[in-house]
Amino acid sequence: MSQDIQTLTHALREFALARNWAQFHAPKNLAAALSVEAAELLEHFQWLTEAQSHNLDAPKKAEVAAEAADVLLYLLQLCDKLDIDLLDAARQKMVVNAVKYPVAEARQGEVR
């Protein structure tokens, strides 16, 4: 696992332990919290056009960054509780997706 991710995961573990929050961090609860945070991230884009979603002003971009961080932090905590190496899982998933969605087939309907 990446040293940065390990360091962040360790800091999250210490943060929760210092506040006695580990008792609430069952995988089920972390998955639910992750879902809520992902919905809060989506809420920032709910009524924007595609063009608007690409051109967020600085305050909105900061809000989106905070929600994205919440998603990442809950995901790291969930993976920590389940002893999942998130980077390894992501790499494996990319291999599966490469087989499932070959480039030649994915580009068949492309307008040129």
Q: What percent of the chain has pLDDT over 70?
A: 95
User: pLDDT, tens digit, for every residue of 8-49?
Assistant: 999 999 999 999 999 999 999 999 999 999 999 999 999 999
Q: How far apart are CA 74 and CA 33, in angstroms?
A: 7
Residue 36: predicted pLDDT = 98
Give burial (CB, 10 Å; 0-12/13-18/19+) of 76: buried
Q: How far apart are CA 61 and CA 57, in angstroms?
A: 6
Query: Structure pTM?
Result: 0.88
- Given a cut of 90, whether residue 109 has pLDDT beyond it is no
Residue-range domains of the chain with CATH: 3-106 (1.10.287.1080)
User: pLDDT, tens digit, for every residue of 72-108?
Assistant: 999 999 999 999 999 999 999 999 999 999 998 887 7
